[in-house]
Amino acid sequence: MRTAVVFAVAVLVSSALGQPDPQREWMVVRDTFPEFRGVPDSVTVARDMAPGVGIFEYCRGPTGFHCPLADVNVSSSVQVALADACDSVMYFSRLSPWCRWDDPVRIPFPQPDPFCPSYNIAAQRSGDDVCLTWVYSPAGFSQKPGFFRISTDGGVNWGPSTQLDWPDAYGGDTLASFHSSSLFPYYDKDGDLRIVAAVGPLVNDTNFILPAQIWHWKDEEWSLVHRAEPESLRAPVGFNALIAGRPSLGEMVDDDFFCVWEEFEGTDVEPGPPARLRAVIKTSYSPDGQYWSPAMLLSDSGHGVSRRFPCIVDQTADDTIRVVYIVDQHAGFAAFGEGPATDNPIVVLKFSPI
């Protein structure tokens, strides 16, 4: 798998497509690395000159940062979360008006920064609230806490950083630990903040990849979306993954909520060396965010590929759900010795739940 900018593009395109018509400028945010452009590390934003035209204009942003994630709020201001290029330090910047960047502001303090880029961002569609989430993932085995911080004025000023309570995922001596790619913040049509998260068990100071659970959070209350515990595992899941994780959330016009995530199938193995499990995309829906349907297979399985990094397009204008994900031609990350590098298409899957 080649991973540079693919995940960021998948998330950002989905955010733009979910906007109402006046705000449907197709936003793309990417890293610009020296080996590609011969310039210092920088963030570049592109937007359609008009909705659907396909002619883009570009705006180069702050240098010395990478791994940008962005969303667009009600006033078409682009909110961007990014990391220092040398350290796992999270910053926030804002692009408003077009091509005028605010100076990056460090966000987590006094809470700990992400150990690796584990942050996410959401902007309110009906107001100026912006939410940043992140997971502190120290080296070694430990319980990894999650945090969020909110701005009520479009990122100009920020409230205090708040640590999320742990969902009641396990019992006894088993602790719940947020995965480093766990948290996905989302503002619904009423402007209320919701978060979906993936957790794994921590037993005797050891993190395990299963049973993994997907949870939904609103107003300090957690509800269980899904529990994944295959009967057997014929290979490892690979670098930086739970057996089920990377959830995202979206909303239909009839107010139903849909959650999607990647889930590794215990018997679908990419031949090695080294052998790795392949993943599929699953979904669950809820009329209220409290009670969730049994998981349904959203992507087809098999065919020698792995489906990874799904992101649901939010607030669809019809009865069609759209999910962006990567078709990984060879399971595992080449950068970590898990097979060869491959060019992987990003696809949009559409389905009607009715």
Same domain, 199 and 348: yes
53: buried, middle or exposed (CB in 10 Å: 19+, 13-18, 0-12)?
Answer: exposed
Same domain, 153 and 214: no
Same domain, 175 and 157: no
Neighbouring CB atoms inside 10 A of 232's CB total: 6
Same domain, 243 and 302: yes
Same domain, 228 and 274: yes
Same domain, 130 and 21: yes
Q: Check: CB of residue 157 under 8 Å from CB of residue 219.
A: no
SS3 state at 113: coil
Same domain, 230 and 132: no
Same domain, 281 and 308: yes
Same domain, 171 and 111: no
Q: What is the phi/psi pair of residue 52, to 5°?
A: 80, 0
Q: Check: CB of residue 309 under 8 Å from CB of residue 262.
A: yes
Digits of tens for pLDDT over the chain (354 positions)?
543 333 333 233 333 333 333 333 334 454 444 434 444 567 888 888 877 788 888 888 888 887 888 888 877 788 888 887 667 789 999 988 889 999 999 999 889 988 777 899 999 988 999 999 999 987 776 899 999 999 999 999 999 999 999 999 998 889 999 998 899 999 998 999 999 999 999 998 888 999 999 999 999 999 999 999 999 999 999 998 999 999 999 988 777 899 999 999 999 999 988 999 999 999 999 999 999 999 999 988 778 999 999 998 765 667 788 899 999 999 999 888 998 999 999 999 988 776
Same domain, 132 and 182: no
| Domain-ending residue, one of 103, 131, 163 | 163
Same domain, 52 and 93: yes
| Domain-ending residue, one of 163, 178, 207 | 163
pLDDT of residue 1: 54
The letter for the amino acid at 238 is G
User: Which CATH number belongs to the domain containing residue 40 in this structure?
Assistant: 2.120.10.10
The pairing of beta strand 346-351 with beta strand 321-328 = antiparallel
Q: Which residue has the tokens 């690979």?
A: 238
The letter for the amino acid at 232 is S
Q: Which residue has the tokens 């990003």?
A: 346
**How many structural domains compose the chain?**
2
| Domain-ending residue, one of 142, 163, 184 | 163
Could you list the residue range(s) of the whole structural domain that residue 295 is in? 166-354
pTM: 0.88
Residues 6+ apart with CB under 8 A from 56: 26, 28, 46, 47, 48, 49
**Joined tokens for residue 318:** 């019809």
Same domain, 120 and 247: no
